């Protein structure tokens, strides 16, 4: 019998509470999901390293490149994320993720066959649709595998995939690009004449089609805390909460969601805007090659971004164990401010090695909020609304972060400072403004977040 129809269901304990699945297997599930998330970010971020050759071949500006980095991907990602969030609250979450993995891998590889700017836009839309399947389902799975005191850490470990994948995209992309960038067009079977930058898309996209089978080693856990209804055959899980009910719940907690979603979205705005243009910043302002900027920046992101996101989750769980219920919001506030000294300095120093060194603490602080932010959503929502609430959170975060962040940096470079070398000042202004406003919103949201946790207890008791 398949895992979809035979979910993990350990025996009920003597206290009447069903125990969580074994910790070893739960962490295996997190490892698989992290691996998949890593591949999603390789496919998402590889474009950021290929700005120069794509601009040269297609004859386009920074602003047009930024539309490929952001809106072409982000708008399809956020719109379809709502659909996949609803499906994640009632359907097989592993099947949703596996299907999406195949889809975004095919579209990424398809970018290697693109001959025009319009074709690249259409294919990036496809990548966004495929990747929209992943996180709402993954957050929901992890929440059903881990008790509350371990969830921020578990979701942060899953979110390591952002920084491992982004780092590998820059490292592998930089290495491969350095090897092929001076070559003439390749003559590939079925595709024909292919430019070196197109070959990179084939290399990073095609493996995911086969690797999607790994999802079928993940068993579907029982949905914890789901509402139960009485039927002729006994008690069974209630149907998925309708979207109207989810929206009504969000309205009752509107200040919390406004401060949380927009506050963390502004940190995402800074993160995506910066990561899209830092390799280009090193190439333009410090004379580095594509290969060197990719390897150095990729190594910083992969190592210190990964350490930062896990540290953020561990700090939040440590605070929760000591009675700070609002820890997931508080960690976001702390790192939004501690980012500022080095985040403001690295773009403007004249020494390339010093700029790279300053990026180490900057990357650490940049990554820390992105495990605790979705953990906060899981913490404050009923079980049968978590997927949809996560999708709404991802809608806001990716609309502002991925959809507008890279474009905002390009806009300042092209239309305010009017010079390619001014990308350093664009990075400084866009990211610093985002962090200051984010800190204000997250601070305002601390008290409403505590009230929302109390509201969940009352709501759960009323709907038991």
Of 344, 295, 334, 345, the closest CA to residue 311 belongs to: 334
Instruction: Give the count of beta carbons closer than 10 Å to the beta carbon of residue 251.
Output: 9
For range 104-108, the mean pLDDT: 94
pLDDT band at 182 (very low <50, low <70, confident <90, very high): low
Q: Answer yes or no: are the C-beta atoms of 394 and 81 closer than 8 Å.
A: yes
Of residues 197 and 233, which shows the higher confidence score? Answer: 197
Alpha carbon 449 to its chain centroid, in Å, reads 22
- By the 10 Å C-beta count (0-12 exposed, 13-18 middle, 19+ buried), 237 is classed as middle
Of residues 45 and 119, which shows the higher confidence score? Answer: 119
pLDDT of residue 181: 60
| Out of 209-213, 382-386, 426-430, least confident range | 382-386
CA distance 38 to 47: 15
Q: Is residue 229 part of a domain?
A: no
Q: Is residue 12 part of a domain?
A: no
pLDDT tens digit string along 245-266?
888 999 999 999 999 999 999 9
Report for 55-64, 145-154, 316-325: range of highest mean pLDDT? 316-325
pLDDT of residue 450: 95
Domains identified in the chain, total number: 1
CA distance 220 to 241: 19
Instruction: Give the count of beta carbons closer than 10 Å to the beta carbon of residue 429.
Output: 16
CA distance 63 to 81: 25
Written as six digits, the tokens of 335 are 């790192």
Written as six digits, the tokens of 55 are 């601009």
Q: What does pTM read for this prediction?
A: 0.76
pLDDT band at 16 (very low <50, low <70, confident <90, very high): very low
CA distance 328 to 260: 10
Cα 132 to Cα 101, 125, 219, distances in angstroms: 10, 11, 21
For range 278-291, the mean pLDDT: 92
Report for 35-49, 64-78, 354-368: range of highest mean pLDDT? 354-368
pLDDT band at 291 (very low <50, low <70, confident <90, very high): confident
Radius of gyration of the chain (CA): 22
CA distance 384 to 140: 9
Of residues 68 and 189, which shows the higher confidence score? Answer: 68
pLDDT band at 1 (very low <50, low <70, confident <90, very high): very low
Written as six digits, the tokens of 144 are 């059903």
pLDDT band at 5 (very low <50, low <70, confident <90, very high): very low
Whether the pLDDT of residue 274 is over 90: the answer is yes
Q: Is the four-CA dihedral 96, 101, 107, 111 of positive or negative sign?
A: positive
pLDDT of residue 118: 92
For range 385-405, the mean pLDDT: 85
Whether the pLDDT of residue 98 is over 50: the answer is yes
Whether the pLDDT of residue 116 is over 50: the answer is yes
| Out of 161-170, 187-196, 261-270, least confident range | 187-196
For range 100-121, the mean pLDDT: 91
Question: What percent of the chain shows pLDDT beyond 70?
Answer: 89
Residue 458 in 3-state DSSP? helix
For range 369-387, the mean pLDDT: 87
Opening angle at CA 250, ends 249 and 254, nearest 5: 130
Whether the pLDDT of residue 397 is over 70: the answer is yes
pLDDT of residue 168: 85
For range 126-130, the mean pLDDT: 93
| Out of 216-225, 283-292, 364-373, least confident range | 216-225
Of 275, 382, 380, 370, the closest CA to residue 320 belongs to: 380
Residues sharing a CB contact under 8 Å with residue 56, sequence separation 6 or more, in sequence order: none
Strand 228-231 relative to strand 234-237, pairing: antiparallel
Of residues 361 and 393, which shows the higher confidence score? Answer: 361
For range 382-387, the mean pLDDT: 81
What CATH code is carried by the domain that includes residue 120?
1.20.1250.20
Q: Answer yes or no: are the C-beta atoms of 313 and 372 closer than 8 Å.
A: yes
> Which residues constitute the domain of residue 218?
23-222+242-462
pLDDT of residue 364: 96
Cα 136 to Cα 30, 87, 102, 326, 386, distances in angstroms: 14, 9, 17, 22, 8
Q: Is residue 213 part of a domain?
A: yes
Whether the pLDDT of residue 242 is over 80: the answer is no
Of 412, 404, 441, the closest CA to residue 269 belongs to: 404
CA distance 39 to 98: 12
For range 220-249, the mean pLDDT: 68
Q: Answer yes or no: are the C-beta atoms of 429 and 344 closer than 8 Å.
A: no
List beta partners, residue 186: 194
Phi, psi values for residue 225, rounded to 5°: 75, 5
Of 317, 4, 273, the closest CA to residue 157 belongs to: 317
Q: Is residue 394 part of a domain?
A: yes
Strand 192-194 relative to strand 228-231, pairing: unpaired
Residue 231 in 3-state DSSP? strand
Q: Is residue 232 part of a domain?
A: no
Residue 236 in 3-state DSSP? strand
For range 427-443, the mean pLDDT: 97
CA distance 75 to 110: 19
Q: Is residue 405 part of a domain?
A: yes
pLDDT of residue 201: 87
Whether the pLDDT of residue 444 is over 90: the answer is yes
Whether the pLDDT of residue 101 is over 60: the answer is yes
Of 364, 305, 320, the closest CA to residue 339 belongs to: 364
Residues sharing a CB contact under 8 Å with residue 214, sequence separation 6 or more, in sequence order: 32, 35, 36
* Residue indicated by tokens 């998402």: 44
Residue 327 in 3-state DSSP? helix
List strand residue ranges (DSSP E) for 10-153, in order: none
pLDDT of residue 464: 66
Question: What's 8's DSSP letter?
Answer: B
Q: Is residue 40 part of a domain?
A: yes
Whether the pLDDT of residue 435 is over 60: the answer is yes
Whether the pLDDT of residue 234 is over 90: the answer is no
pLDDT band at 8 (very low <50, low <70, confident <90, very high): very low
Of residues 337 and 398, which shows the higher confidence score? Answer: 337
């Amino acid at each position: 019998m398949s895992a979809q129809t035979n979910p993990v269901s350990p025996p009920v304990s003597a206290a009447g509470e069903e125990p969580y699945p074994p910790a070893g297997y739960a962490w295996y599930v997190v490892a698989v999901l992290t691996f998949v998330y890593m591949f999603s970010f390789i496919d998402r971020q590889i474009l950021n390293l290929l700005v120069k050759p794509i601009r040269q071949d297609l004859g386009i500006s920074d602003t047009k490149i930024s539309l490929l980095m952001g809106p072409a991907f982000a708008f399809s990602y956020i719109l379809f994320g709502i659909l996949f969030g609803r499906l994640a609250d009632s359907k097989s979450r592993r099947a949703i993720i596996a299907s999406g993995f195949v889809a975004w891998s095919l579209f990424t590889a398809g970018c290697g066959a693109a001959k025009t700017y319009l074709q690249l836009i259409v294919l990036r839309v496809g990548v966004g649709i495929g990747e929209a399947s992943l996180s709402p389902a993954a957050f929901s799975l992890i929440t059903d595998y881990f008790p509350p005191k371990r969830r921020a850490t578990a979701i942060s470990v899953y979110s390591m995939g952002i920084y491992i994948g982004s780092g590998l995209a820059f490292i592998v992309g930089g290495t491969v690009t350095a090897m092929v960038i001076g070559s003439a067009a390749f003559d590939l079977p079925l595709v024909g004449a292919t430019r070196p930058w197109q070959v990179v898309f084939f290399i990073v996209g095609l493996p995911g089609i086969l690797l999607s089978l790994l999802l079928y080693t993940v068993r579907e856990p029982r949905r914890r805390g789901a509402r139960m209804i009485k039927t002729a055959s006994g008690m069974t899980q209630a149907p998925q909460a309708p979207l109207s009910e989810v929206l009504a719940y969000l309205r009752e907690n509107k200040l919390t969601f406004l401060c949380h979603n927009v506050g963390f979205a502004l940190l995402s705005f800074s993160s995506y805007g910066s990561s899209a243009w830092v390799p280009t910043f090193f190439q333009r302002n410090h004379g580095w090659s594509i290969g060197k900027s990719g390897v150095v920046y990729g190594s910083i992101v992969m190592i210190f971004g990964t350490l930062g996101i896990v540290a953020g989750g561990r700090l939040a769980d440590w605070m929760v164990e000591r009675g700070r219920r609002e820890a997931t919001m508080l960690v976001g506030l702390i790192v939004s401010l501690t980012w500022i000294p080095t985040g403001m300095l690295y773009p403007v120093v004249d020494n390339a090695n010093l700029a790279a060194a300053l990026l180490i603490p900057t990357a650490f602080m940049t990554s820390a909020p992105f495990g605790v932010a979705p953990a906060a959503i899981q913490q404050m929502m009923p079980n049968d609304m978590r997927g949809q609430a996560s999708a709404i959170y991802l809608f806001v975060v990716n609309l502002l972060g991925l959809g507008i962040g890279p474009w905002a940096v390009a806009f300042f470079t092209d239309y305010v400072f009017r010079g390619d070398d001014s990308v350093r000042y664009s990075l400084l202004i866009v990211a610093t403004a985002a962090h200051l406003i984010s800190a204000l919103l997250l601070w305002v949201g601390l008290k409403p977040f505590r009230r929302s946790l109390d509201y969940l207890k009352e709501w759960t008791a009323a709907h038991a």
